[in-house]
Amino acid sequence: MIQLKGIGDYTASAISSFCFDEPRAVVDGNVYRVLSRIFGIDTPIDSTQGKKEFKALAEELLPQKHAAEFNQAIMEFGATACTPKKPLCATCPFVQECHAFRHNQVHALPVKAKKTQVQDVHLNYLVHAKNGAITLEHRSNEGIWKNLYQFPCVISDKALSEKRLSGNKEYQALVKAKNPPELMEAVLHKLSHRNLHIRFFKVEGTFNGKHQFEKVALNDLSEYPVPIVIARFLEKHF
């Protein structure tokens, strides 16, 4: 499964565990925090060494039976009790074994080698649907959504209104239309290093033929892999 494009260790482990109950440890931010505090591990969780160390420990602790329940339990414990701020140490069942609590290091663990700077990105998706088909483009550039499909997109340094988008040079280079775009929906999609401020605009007219756009029948959309935020939009509106 991990050989599939876009599927990393976390996703592959989660699918294997939760869908097929295979003994695969699922290590997310909550698991890093719980393990680092209980076992007193100060290896940076965002380092190659740290990822290997925590993964190995999680695999060692994982029971061969009921792995999915174990994974869900430790993730839930980190999300509700062993939280980043104000953890519930007074009622924690592991307080006697917790290295961080016994050594007053609760707020010092886990350790990160570098703090990720979150970047705000504004994506203006152009939704063109006509005669039972919708226009998509294939992402071939690097990034988290490489090789997925998306709507034609105008990237801006701030949120654009319908009026500002229609006057945008990049938009004008993409679309030939008499009517201005119409805002359909605005969503915020948070990633570890980016806040994606996404706006979906309904557009009419035609797209510039120089760009590699595809007209996809609505009935065939399931054959085109898209980012989750676009999948949710399509499910809601189409």
Q: Which domains does the chain have, with CATH numbers?
A: 9-108 (1.10.1670.10), 119-237 (3.90.79.10)
Q: CA dihedral defined by 143, 145, 151, 152, rounded to 10 degrees?
A: 20
Mean pLDDT of the chain: 87
Average pLDDT of the segment spanning 71-82: 89
State whether residue 71 is helix, strand or coil: helix
Give the model confidence (pLDDT) of 14-62 as tens digits: 455 455 566 677 888 899 999 999 999 999 998 989 989 998 998 898 8
Q: With contact defined as beta carbons under 8 Å apart, do 75 and 30 qualify?
A: yes
Q: 212: pLDDT confidence band, cut at 50, 70 and 90?
A: confident
Flag whether pLDDT at 4 surpasses 60: no
According to the model, what pLDDT value does residue 146 have?
81
Q: With contact defined as beta carbons under 8 Å apart, do 77 and 153 qualify?
A: no
- As given in the structure block, the two tokens for residue 76 are 């839930």
Distance of CA 73 to the CA centre of its chain: 22
Residue 75 half-sphere exposure toward CB, CA atoms < 13 A:
16
Distance CA 219, CA 125 (A): 21
- Residue 104 CB neighbours (<10 A): 8
According to the model, what pLDDT value does residue 19 have?
52
Distance CA 171, CA 181 (A): 10
Flag whether pLDDT at 102 surpasses 60: yes
Flag whether pLDDT at 2 surpasses 70: no
Q: With contact defined as beta carbons under 8 Å apart, do 39 and 32 qualify?
A: no
Flag whether pLDDT at 10 surpasses 70: no
Average pLDDT of the segment spanning 138-154: 85
Whole-model pTM above 0.85? no
Residue whose structure tokens are 């990105």: 121
Q: 68: pLDDT confidence band, cut at 50, 70 and 90?
A: confident
Average pLDDT of the segment spanning 139-153: 84
C-alpha distance from residue 177 to each of 180, 206, 218 (Å)? 7, 7, 22
Residue 149: name the closest of 135, 132, 133 by CA: 135
The enclosing H or E element of 176 equals strand 175-176
End-to-end CA distance of the chain: 30
According to the model, what pLDDT value does residue 81 have?
94
Flag whether pLDDT at 80 surpasses 90: yes
According to the model, what pLDDT value does residue 218 have?
95
Give the model confidence (pLDDT) of 167-207 as tens digits: 999 999 999 988 999 999 999 998 878 899 999 999 998 99
- As given in the structure block, the two tokens for residue 225 are 């892999």
